[in-house]
Structure 1
Amino acid sequence: MDYQAKYITEDIKLSSYDDKFFKSDIMFDQHMLIWFISGETKIVQADATYFFKKGDIFLIPRNQLATIINYPTNGEPHKTVVMHLSTNRLRDFYANLNVTAKAPDSFKIYSFNNHPLLESCMASLIPYFEMKELPENIATLKITEAISILRTIDKAIDNILANFEEPGKIDLADYMEKNFMFNLPLEKFGYLTGRSLTTFKRDFRKVFNTTPQRWLTQKRLDLAHYQFVEKKKKPIDVCYEVGFENLSHFSYAFKKRFGYTPSDLTGKNPPANS
């Protein structure tokens, strides 16, 4: 993968790569405001799938699981400006404001398609990526500007940006059934369900009577089988959407569980026991 990243600060970067595609499963520790310069992105969450392209601007709330699949398009690299809205910066911003955040019903991805104020704010960052010496406090000023614009566009955005609570202990079975397709370290699953790694493993065995690794693999393969049979999807798409990182490993694991490969199942002559 031919990847390049330029930083104004650790919170603002220009990201670019030219490979066929790039996939990752991510838990966002901070809110991320993203402006698309070129390329396309597919974001798969537990209950929604999003597609973004050139000109789109969107906000991904923190502590959310997602599969990100990025594609260069039309001979142009996948290129974005990414601004991290960290908890520390947001605390400073809201310190002197009389704002009481209400817990949102859902942590969806917020889309601000081609909004002129946000686009102007994000586009104004481009020249700074070429400068060796930056004006003092430029990152703070630009992030403050972005937050102010977001609050002008969406009055309810305070419920996301001014909410500083950490994940509490929640129902393990319900959470894992909704999020098993995300290939994250067990420590992250523990954090998001309000548990230490040790407690997560202990509670998991109590609930599912097996190890997390075995259960996750089985659930992902079962979902893949469903996607092939009911949704008629291609192996390359299903592989990454259900939490595998490598197509050959996915095919091997699939055949070990079902007795035939994804290609057998999606071919013209699927096996009789499919």
Structure 2
Amino acid sequence: MEYQAKYITEDIKLSCYQDKFFKSDILFEHHMLIWFISGETKIVQSEGTYIFQQGDIFLIPRNQLATIINYPKNGLPHQTVVMHLTTPWLRDFYERLGVKPKPAAAQKIRHFRDHPLLQSCLSSLVPYFDMQELPKDIAHLKIMEAVTILRSLDPEIDGMLASFEEPGKIDLTDYMEKNFMFNMPLEKFGYLTGRSLTTFKRDFKKAFDTTPQKWLTQKRLELAHYQFVEKKKKPIDVCYEVGFENLSHFSFAFKKHFGYAPTSLLAARG
């Protein structure tokens, strides 16, 4: 895979994937504002699947699990400008404003298709990536410009950006049933449910009467079977969307669990 990245600071980068595709299961540590120059991204979250492409601008909230699949498209690489809106920067920004909004009820992706102000702000960053010496404080000023535009576009955005709480202890069964398809270390699942790794494993055993790995594998394979039969999806798409890292491992596990290969379901379609 050929990947290239250029940085203004560690919080603003120009990202480019030249290969066929790139897939990753991610927990976003910071809010991310992304502008698409070319290519396509599929983002799978517990509440649904999003597809973004050239011209799209979207904001992904922090502490959200997602499967990200990046594709080149129309002969062009997958290329984006990415701006991290970090907790320290936002905390300072909102303290200066004296704004203390109520936390947003739903931390969901915000989509701003072809918005002229945001597009102008993010596209103006591109020339800076090739400069050896940058104007003083340009990154800070550009992030401030972007956040100011976001606040003017979405009256509820403060509830997302100015929420600095860490995940608290929540219902383990409900959370895992919604997020089992994300291939995260158990420590991350523990963090997101407000538990240490030891407490997570203990509570998991109590809730599901099995180990996390056995339960996760079974749930992912059952979802894969549903995607084949009911949604008519292809193995290569299903494999990555349900939490497996490669097609050969997925096919082996599927056959071992169900007694037949995913390709037999495709053949049965006719």
Query: What TM-score do you get using the length of structure 1 for normalisation?
Result: 0.97
3-state DSSP class of the match of 1:96? helix
Q: Distance in 2 between matches of 1:269 and 1:78?
A: 33
Any idea what the Cα deviations from partners look like across 1:145-166, whole Å, max 9, x if unmatched?
A: 1110100111110000011111
Q: Distance in 1 between matches of 2:262 and 2:215?
A: 20
Q: Distance in 2 between matches of 1:6 and 1:29?
A: 20
Any idea what the Cα deviations from partners look like across 1:218-260, whole Å, max 9, x if unmatched?
A: 0000110111111111101100000001000000000000001
Letter in 2 for 1:28: F
Do the aligned partners of 2:94 and 2:100 also contact (CA within 8 Å) in 1? no
3-state DSSP class of the match of 2:230? helix
Change in CA separation of 1:39 and 1:269 when aligned onto 2, cut-off 3 Å: closer
- More deviation in 25-34 or 134-143? 134-143
Do the aligned partners of 2:103 and 2:162 also contact (CA within 8 Å) in 1? no
Any idea what the Cα deviations from partners look like across 1:63-117, whole Å, max 9, x if unmatched?
A: 0011111110011000000000000000111112232222322111100111111
1:133-212 aligned at under 5 Å gives the runs 133-212=133-212
3-state DSSP class of the match of 2:83? strand
Q: Distance in 2 between matches of 1:40 and 1:27?
A: 20
State the partner residue of 1:22.
Answer: 22
3-state DSSP class of the match of 1:155? coil
Letter in 2 for 1:175: Y
1:102 and 2:130 matched: no
State the partner residue of 1:87.
Answer: 87
Q: Distance in 1 between matches of 2:66 and 2:269?
A: 34
Do the aligned partners of 2:2 and 2:18 also contact (CA within 8 Å) in 1? yes
Q: Distance in 1 between matches of 2:78 and 2:111?
A: 18
Change in CA separation of 1:145 and 1:259 when aligned onto 2, cut-off 3 Å: same
Do the aligned partners of 2:104 and 2:156 also contact (CA within 8 Å) in 1? no
Any idea what the Cα deviations from partners look like across 1:170-224, whole Å, max 9, x if unmatched?
A: 0000000000000011111111000111111111111111111111000000110
1:122 and 2:148 matched: no
1:52-67 aligned at under 5 Å gives the runs 52-67=52-67
Q: Distance in 2 between matches of 1:156 and 1:173?
A: 29
Letter in 1 for 2:178: K
Letter in 1 for 2:74: N
Q: Distance in 2 between matches of 1:101 and 1:191?
A: 25
1:214 and 2:214 matched: yes
Letter in 1 for 2:199: T
% same residue:
75
Any idea what the Cα deviations from partners look like across 1:15-34, whole Å, max 9, x if unmatched?
A: 00111111111110100000
Q: Distance in 1 between matches of 2:181 and 2:192?
A: 15
How far the C-alpha of 1:266 sits from its partner, in A, is 1.5
Q: Distance in 1 between matches of 2:64 and 2:85?
A: 14
3-state DSSP class of the match of 1:52? strand
Query: What TM-score do you get using the length of structure 2 for normalisation?
Result: 0.98
State the partner residue of 1:32.
Answer: 32
Letter in 2 for 1:193: T
State the partner residue of 2:42.
Answer: 42
1:6-17 aligned at under 5 Å gives the runs 6-17=6-17
3-state DSSP class of the match of 1:67? strand
Q: Distance in 2 between matches of 1:216 and 1:116?
A: 43
How far the C-alpha of 1:269 sits from its partner, in A, is 7.2
Q: Distance in 2 between matches of 1:104 and 1:266?
A: 43
**Count of residue pairs brought into register by the alignment:** 270
How far the C-alpha of 1:268 sits from its partner, in A, is 3.7
The gaps in structure 1 that reach 5 residues or longer are none
